[in-house]
Amino acid sequence: MAFTDRYGLTVTTDSSVAFERFQDGMDHLLAYGPEGETRLAQAVEADPGLAVAHTGRALLALVAGDAAAARAAMARARETVGGASRRERQHVEALDAFVGGESARGFALADEHVKDFPRDAVLVNQVSSAIALAGAADREEYRVAFMERLAPAYGDDWWYQSALAFTYHEVDRFDESRRLSEASLQKYPRNAHAAHNLAHISLETLDCEAGAAFLDEWMAGYDRRASFHCHMAWHQAMFALHAGRHAHAMEIFEREILPSSNPRSAMTDGTALLWRLKLDAEGGALPWRALAGERRPELPAVAVGIAEVGHSPGGLMREEIGAGSIFGNHRVWPAVVPEPAQPAEL
């Protein structure tokens, strides 16, 4: 038996409960919501053979830096996907490559997959982030081109609007990014992806007072269990630092970042914040040992995708990728990403 998700894609399961929980979990994953892991766990409890729910759990494990859990979830996806649709089998195969650190293979598989299934949003989300984290100087232009290529398939979908908007503000197309992000929030008000975009735009255009006011109000309703809560709190701290409120930034560190439910984000965002405080030479001794002393799970040697890690002072987490696959000649898969296109009409 099969169901059809909101992107028109087949989800193979005999359980209506499993499908409903999967659909909800997918939306939380794409919106950086707090219930992604819970809903996907409920989906596989209702149907242990729902392979695409296992892949979702693998991606969420990466966000927290739990490589062992990510590998285990992907193993379950591989074991259970045999009787599913071609779309689901290809979805699992491509994401398995990314989770396993085989970025070049993952990009090649995704290249073929999106030709037939451009609305596979979870995979597209992973691919977009993997392009950005691969490290080439012109990566953001090609990320824009990849996402714009898919515009006809998504129309005014709330997730797509926020995902495309992120690529726009990374190349200084701030007005377009703001328009799309605000439209996304109108459709899905708790989309942290879109709220994150607006925080970036405000900081990068020095509209910091308005940005801080928006983010403080939006964060008041954002559940601390969400994997992205720590990073959003980091953005609040950036606004505080810009306003010279160093003590408030440290309060955010101690209240929101250090005890975060996402240990990977606590490490990257906590380090980034303390480094900036050090550069400002404010506040005396900084609690580096408190951050280093936190128990952290194994950080993944994989093609990290959903969470942003580019703010850490050490730079991006990268995988060396051979010539002819991506970035070997400063080109992101010629078959997948065309020359940077004109702005998409949405």
Nearest to 296 by CA among 65, 77, 85: 65
Exposed/middle/buried for 217, CB within 10 Å: 0-12, 13-18, 19+? Answer: exposed
Contact 25, 59 (CB under 8 A): no
The full set of domain ranges for the chain reads 2-292
3-state secondary structure 157-179: CHHHHHHHHHHHHHCCCHHHHHH
Buried b (16+ CB within 10 A) or exposed e, 9-45: bebbbebeebbebbbbbbbbbbbbbbbbbebbbbbbe
Angle (deg, nearest 10), helices 121-133 and 158-170: 10
In Å, what is the CA distance from 338 to each residue of 45, 65, 296? 42, 32, 40
| CA–CA distance, 212 with 207 (Å, rounded to integer) | 9
Q: DSSP string covering 182-199, please?
A: HHHHHH-TT-HHHHHHHH
Nearest to 59 by CA among 17, 92, 21, 85: 92
* CATH code 3.30.420.40 for 2-292: no
**Stretch (H or E) spanning 12:** strand 10-12
> What is the token pair recorded at 100?
């396993």
pLDDT score, position 309: 33
> What is the token pair recorded at 216?
């403080």
Number of neighbours of residue 116 by Cβ within 10 angstroms: 10
Note the Cα 270 to chain centre separation in Å. Answer: 18
Exposed/middle/buried for 325, CB within 10 Å: 0-12, 13-18, 19+? Answer: middle
Exposed/middle/buried for 83, CB within 10 Å: 0-12, 13-18, 19+? Answer: exposed
At 138, the amino acid letter reads: D
Compute mean pLDDT per 10 residues along the chain, 346 residues long, and list them: 95 97 97 97 98 97 90 97 97 96 92 96 95 84 94 97 97 97 98 98 96 97 95 97 94 95 92 92 78 56 38 30 32 40 41
pLDDT score, position 284: 73
Rounded to 5 degrees, φ, ψ at 296 are -120, 140
| CA–CA distance, 59 with 12 (Å, rounded to integer) | 20
Size of the chain in residues = 346
Exposed/middle/buried for 187, CB within 10 Å: 0-12, 13-18, 19+? Answer: middle
* Lookup result for tokens 């028109």: 8
- Classify the phi-psi angles of 50: left when phi > 0, otherwise alpha if psi is within -120 to 50, otherwise beta: beta
